[in-house]
Amino acid sequence: MLTERSANLCWGQRYHWLRYLAAPAGSRHEAHITDSFPLPAGVTVTQIQLALNCLVRRHEVLRTVFALDARGLPRQHVQPPAPMPITLAVADDGTATPAEAIRGVTETDFDMGREWPIRACVVTAAGVVKRLHMVFNHVAFDDVSLGALRSDLDMMLTAVISGRPVALQPVAHQPVDLARRESALPSASTQPALEHWRDEVRRLPADVFASRRRRVPVPGAAHSASLTSPSLLQTTQDIGKRQRVWPSAVHLAAYSVTMAAYTGEKCTAHRMYTSQREASGYPSVVTCMSYPTMVRIDLSDDPPFSEVLRRATARVEQSLAHAHVPYDEIAELVACESTRRGQPVRLASELNFLSQAPKSCGTRRDRLTPNPAPADWARAGSDTYFRIYEWSDGVTLVLQAMAAVMRREDVERWLRGYARLLAAHRDPAVDLRVSQVAGLLGFAPDASRRIVRVGPDAVDVDETEAVLCGHAAVDSAQLSVVDRGLVANVVVKGSVTAAALRRHVLGAMFEHAAVRCPDWFRLVDIEGLAPTLAGDGLDHDVLLAGTAAERALAAAVSQVNGVGRLNLADSYPASGGRALRSPRVVEALRESGWAGISIGQLGTARPLSALAGLLERA
């Protein structure tokens, strides 16, 4: 008899689970995976139903829900086999059109705590099946899983139509088995990898787009364009063969150099989607085992492209060697580094290399196409998303970028510059340095902004001074950079401490571009009567909950995470709040009648007191 099985989330599921819940309701379908499955001629709805029912029985992930337990942690629960729900769209019955039905199953958010992570829509006309449209939640599926599923479904449909039994290899392991294996690993087994990432996080540029980031008239606006080039396929293959690396490494080097040319940064960093199947020990498990891995490439010595290519290859190998860790713990390291540095550490650019062979790119000449604005993606919290599709006869580059970091014309110029950079290096005699590429692509810096450097980080002087002046007790502020770091000379018109100013900046800096908390404060009374006070603001007193909002937040954080009395001067991660429990904190606040903060905001360096200031009665 089959009984319900449950376990923690697999490591590969955690990133997508957090990202899905952090996205606003109504926009989460941007992360759905859709596919139209080829069907044998003459197949019926009943036969499709039988094949899907067999598939659901065979693969536990198809009947798994992902719900919070009593402790606020996500768990995967495998439900008993049951008939697979199917949406039937009849093209000629006068009801909703097939397009409307498909849009409904595609764009409706998954209720992960109650709904299986798969949907099916069968389109018929005059009683004949025309199409099987499938929708998958990325939490449970990646490309490898979908390939296995497609193969099994083909075999099952063939067997159902022929009336013969299907011969499939037994399923060796299910997602619950993998999750239990990961949970059983001693904490010491991941410590070397986490130490590697802790060191990497400390070396990250705070914001690759610091000198480009700006406020835009329409918050949440984004742009997208695609460049398809038949010649780029042979170009990257020639460069890779000459340098003895994979074409994907050639693209990574080109991405890093083009991004450095655009941003003016000496170090680039992004998240690259990688598969952890082999590292998991259970490579055949049908679930999502692909999630982003941090890649940082130092270009401060102005290396030639061949050296960037060597570094990119080495950095990917190093990242992959340490990639098999729970992603939520990496996110917590980044949040704590933001607190330590006093500046938002943003790692919000993704790169994905996707092989589409043996399919064709469909064009014989280069073609740049503006895409519709990615409105739903723009609400997911990323800065850019760059995809490289490698076809049998070409390459397609797709760039999505928030308007806050790239204008529409910048997106198109970036793509053309990327292709021009690669085309130039098809010639073995060409080996451009990063500075030469910047001149070639023609990205001029924004001369209107006062940008200073504090270590490797760019800081906007005007924005930081404006944030300081936003405190009620500050009359004026002036910044300077000295050996000890960023110093703020602040004229105050009331009673305030360096610690209070630090908390104020930590709470407000996420709504501005390239703002950093000063490393040292010099405070003087506006009348010049009081003695000058100085300090780094780190020696703050304990802040206890005072307002109703602060009490509600403190209660939710304490209860969900099992921690004692909180210091509201600390951030959620610094208070012992875990990333995987943050959805339950938001839920607990809503249950007590409060709204206004998101999962993403909890996972930052904002002090709890600042977060409480965002709460309002629901």
Residue 265: give its domain's CATH number.
Answer: 3.30.559.30
Of 53, 282, 25, the C-alpha closest to 179 is 282
Same domain, 82 and 145: yes
pLDDT of residue 587: 95
pLDDT of residue 1: 39
Instruction: Examine the pLDDT at 336 and tell me if it is beyond 90.
Output: yes
Same domain, 246 and 385: yes
Give me the domain span that covers residue 338.
191-435
> Is 540 among the domain residues?
no
Look at phi and psi of residue 617 and say left if phi exceeds 0, alpha if psi is from -120 to 50, else beta. beta
Within 13 Å of residue 494, how many CA atoms lie on the same side as its CB?
9
Contact 42, 161 (CB under 8 A): yes
Q: Span 141-150, mean pLDDT?
A: 93
Mean pLDDT of all residues in the chain? Answer: 92
Domain's final residue, options 162, 184, 206: 184
Question: In sequence order, which residues have a C-beta less than 8 Å from that of residue 128 and are 6 or more positions away?
Answer: none
Same domain, 518 and 582: no
pLDDT of residue 543: 85
CATH of the domain at 520: 3.30.300.30
Q: What angle do CA 222, 225, 230 make, to 5 degrees?
A: 160
Instruction: Examine the pLDDT at 592 and tell me if it is beyond 90.
Output: yes
The rounded distance, in Å, linking the Cα atoms of 425 and 431 is 7
Domain's final residue, options 138, 154, 184: 184
Contact 21, 74 (CB under 8 A): no
Q: Span 598-608, mean pLDDT?
A: 95
Instruction: Examine the pLDDT at 26 and tell me if it is beyond 70.
Output: yes
Q: Span 208-235, mean pLDDT?
A: 91
The rounded distance, in Å, linking the Cα atoms of 209 and 263 is 6
Same domain, 363 and 316: yes
Q: What are phi and psi of 487, to 5 degrees?
A: -115, 135
Same domain, 430 and 488: no
Of 103, 511, 532, the C-alpha closest to 344 is 511
Same domain, 280 and 369: yes
Look at phi and psi of residue 171 and say left if phi exceeds 0, alpha if psi is from -120 to 50, else beta. beta
Of 40, 3, 16, 34, the C-alpha closest to 103 is 34
Provide the token pair at 189: 């087994």
Starting at the edge strand found earlier in the chain, the sheet holding 474-482 runs 474-482, 485-492, 520-525, 533-535
pLDDT confidence bin for 612, thresholds 50/70/90: very high
pLDDT of residue 529: 67
Same domain, 24 and 56: yes
The rounded distance, in Å, linking the Cα atoms of 368 and 415 is 9
Q: Span 48-73, mean pLDDT?
A: 94
Instruction: Examine the pLDDT at 3 and tell me if it is beyond 60.
Output: no
The rounded distance, in Å, linking the Cα atoms of 416 and 402 is 18
Instruction: Examine the pLDDT at 540 and tell me if it is beyond 80.
Output: no
E-strand ranges in 63-127 read 64-68, 74-78, 87-90, 118-125
> Is 463 among the domain residues?
yes
Instruction: Examine the pLDDT at 2 and tell me if it is beyond 60.
Output: no
Same domain, 309 and 397: yes
Q: Is the pTM of this model over 0.85?
A: yes
Instruction: Examine the pLDDT at 341 and tell me if it is beyond 90.
Output: yes
Query: Per residue in 194-207, pLDDT tens?
Result: 999 999 999 999 99
Contact 101, 149 (CB under 8 A): no
pLDDT, greater one: 307 or 96: 307
pLDDT confidence bin for 348, thresholds 50/70/90: very high
Same domain, 149 and 203: no
Instruction: Examine the pLDDT at 94 and tell me if it is beyond 80.
Output: no
> Is 441 among the domain residues?
no
Percent of the chain clearing pLDDT 70 (strictly above): 98
pLDDT of residue 530: 67
> Is 445 among the domain residues?
no
> Is 85 among the domain residues?
yes
Same domain, 258 and 142: no
C-alpha distances (whole Å) from 479 to each of 308, 467, 606 are 35, 12, 22
The rounded distance, in Å, linking the Cα atoms of 409 and 387 is 18
pLDDT of residue 127: 86
Q: Span 471-487, mean pLDDT?
A: 93
pLDDT of residue 95: 67
Question: DSSP letters of 162-196?
Answer: HT-----PPP---HHHHHHHHHHS-GGGTHHHHHH
Query: Per residue in 405-447, pLDDT tens?
Result: 999 999 999 999 999 999 999 999 999 999 999 888 888 877 7
pLDDT confidence bin for 384, thresholds 50/70/90: very high
Starting at the edge strand found earlier in the chain, the sheet holding 33-37 runs 33-37, 128-136, 118-125, 87-90
The rounded distance, in Å, linking the Cα atoms of 195 and 176 is 28
Of 471, 479, 476, the C-alpha closest to 451 is 479
Query: Per residue in 270-321, pLDDT tens?
Result: 999 888 999 999 999 999 999 899 999 999 999 999 999 999 999 999 999 9
Contact 259, 246 (CB under 8 A): no
Instruction: Examine the pLDDT at 39 and tell me if it is beyond 80.
Output: yes
Instruction: Examine the pLDDT at 164 and tell me if it is beyond 90.
Output: no
pLDDT of residue 256: 96
pLDDT of residue 502: 95
